[in-house]
Amino acid sequence: MFDSLLFDTMLIAALGIGSQWVGWRFRIPAIVVMSIVGLLAGPILGVINPSEDFGEVFKPLISLAVAIILFEGSLSLDFREVRGLGRPVFRIVTIGAFLAWILGSLAAHYVAGLSLAVAFVIGGLFIVTGPTVILPLLRQAKLKPRPAALLKWEGIVVDPFGALLAVFAFEIIQFFSNDDVTAMTLLMFFLASGFATLLGYGCAKGLGYIFENGHVPEFLKSPVMFGVVIACFTVADEITHETGLLAVTAMGITLANMHISSIQDMRHFKENISILLTSAVFVMLTASLTKETLLQILDINILAFVLLMLFVVRPLSIWLSTIGTDLTSAEKTFVGWIAPRGIVALTVASYFSSVLSESGFEDASILTSLTFALVFSTVLAHGFSIGWLAKKLGLAIDNQPGVLIVGASSFSTALSKTLKELKIPVLISDSSFQRLETARKAGIPFIREEILSEQTEYNLDMTPYEYMIAASELDSYNALVCNTFVPEIGRSNLFQLALHNRRGEDLEAMGNTIGGRLLFNEQATWEALNEKVESGFVFRKTNITNQYRYQQYMDERHPEAIPLFILKPSGKIEFFTRKSQRKAEPGDLVVSLTPPTKEFKKIQEKITEKKT
């Protein structure tokens, strides 16, 4: 209909971001949706064919996008995150990767029917999982910190090594089958890999120095960083193919462990870029497949190979490599199952398919079909099973969304106690041990940390908490806390209390982008709420039914009562705010802060009964 690159670009972006939204809205793996819409738009309906439409720039675009995605993922690899997990992680990315290569190569040879040479090339590539597939799944699965850290580190660290292992296997094949390839060629490959690592390390150190010493203004830091990433990848990759991925991974890990404040400030921007690129690249790759490739997937040997990789090779390599570590059987089982392949496997496989075919290996023609069969099968199987299996093995956080309250006080303690009674995960954070005294006595979970400190990021698991309430006695601090956690929690789930209602200092006069949403009503200030709790106000829970409607509840409630939140049957919490008043439906529970009139009446009735 529209034969232009502009239309293709628009459609790819729309399909990619649309897939992300569908995944979020219906709580299904977005990577699965992207695969399906890519196949529909490409080989099935023939609307687009990015590999033909983009021509010679297709592969460079994909390569640069993968490099940026891998760099963004490696920026999250802070060594402090794997305290206590160093040994299992090291075993999995070394011994585990080696076992997966050998076992996968043998499976490709004896089951898929590939020659031994081609099998060892593609076997090296199949050890990768990668941030493009594993990170979106981790965001949706709500895993506990240990299994999440294991999968994330394996996915990002092994990603470049899988590509390098495939290149190394290809060089070995060339060495034994081609007289023009000598031992010096192999030596140059290892030297190029070492150079790529040093290049990435040097770029990171240089970037860190100029950022920390103010040689780059704030508005240029993100462009400069991505410019250096592209340069680092390109220089390394031009010297030896696929070493560019190693260079950007080394660069990202080095920057992550330099703890530069500027890098943390750019976190939201980097994540947005990574999500956009992941969406676009996966749609482009699946849309570029041919019908012949899809039909070839139905070959019995390819299907048998995929099943063997899923149920034998991956579990066996994980269990054998983690012998003697402190991983539990549940953790080994879970990590041994979850290993979705993604963009790197597809892009590098297409490269080796053409290179090996040109070198005389006719069986290399099925590499693209074999790779896509494994990618699509693992994305579907692991994407839909990760949440279910994590719950079954006790490795997932409770589905009930929790509340993190920043600032200990009489009101926050009483609110936390009510949330706890409703079986809602709750945690109070405060840097003062004295202010936390009431929470400690009430048995409320707490953490004595400065929520804005970098150290808290590694001491506090944020996974259980979907809502945050900034409830300290400082308006400016509450606003700062909310602004800091916008990328992690989302603006719609960030709330804060106003300290007072004096004109001129009212937070509502500030811009909509500053701070969180102001809770409750204009009378519900920090001072007023604490005074009410200390004077005996109680938290009342009212069930809304078909017989007792919300309007009746509103008509009959005490004039001084303050509706706080509505608890939905699904576990979702809807807080009342100054700008958006909620309406409860039958089946909902309304929690309000109410004068203790009913309690006084009950006490009076009991006293009267005793007298009579």
CA distance 573 to 565: 7
CA distance 162 to 413: 51
Residue % of the chain over a pLDDT of 70: 86
Sheet containing 573-575, strands listed edge to edge, beginning at the edge strand earlier in sequence: 538-543, 589-594, 562-567, 573-575
Nearest-10 Cα torsion for 480, 483, 484, 490: 150
Amino acid identity at 121: V
The pLDDT tens digits for 318-375 are 999 999 888 889 999 998 998 888 777 777 777 777 777 777 778 778 888 888 888 8
Read off the tokens for 337.
Answer: 């199952």
Provide the 3-class DSSP secondary structure of residue 561.
coil
235 is written with which tokens?
């220089």
Over 90: is that where the pLDDT of 232 sits?
yes
Q: With the CA atoms of 66, 67, 69 and 75 taken in that order, what torsion angle do they form, in degrees rounded to the nearest 10?
A: 160
CATH 1.20.1530.20 domain position(s) in the chain:
63-392
- Three-state SS across 71-89? HHHHCCCCHHHHCCCHHHH
Average pLDDT, the chain: 81
CB neighbours (10 Å) of residue 58? 17
Query: pLDDT: is 281 or 305 the higher one?
Result: 305
Task: Give the pLDDT confidence of 3-16 residue by residue, as tens digits.
Answer: 678 888 899 989 98
More confident residue, 456 or 400: 400
Q: According to the model, what pLDDT value does residue 503 have? A: 43
CA angle 342, 347, 348 (to 5 degrees): 105
What number is the average pLDDT over the span 139-167? 77
Burial state string for 589-612 with b = 16 or more CB within 10 A and e = fewer than 16: ebbbbbbeeeeeeeeeeeeeeeee
Per-residue pLDDT tens for 465-515?
888 888 888 888 888 888 878 767 777 888 888 876 544 444 445 545 567
Amino acid at 15: L
Confidence band of 130 (pLDDT split at 50, 70, 90) = low
pLDDT at 265: 61
CATH number of the domain located at residue range(s) 402-611 in this protein = 3.40.50.720
pLDDT digits (tens, 9 = 90+) for 44-86: 888 888 888 888 888 888 888 878 877 877 776 666 665 666 7
Q: What is the DSSP letter of 568?
A: -
Q: What is the pLDDT of residue 489?
A: 77
Positive/negative CA dihedral, 544, 550, 553, 559: positive
Top-level class of domain 63-392: mainly alpha
Helix (H, G, I), strand (E, B) or coil at 491: helix
Q: What is the pLDDT of residue 598?
A: 61
Where along the chain do the CATH 3.40.50.720 domains lie? 402-611
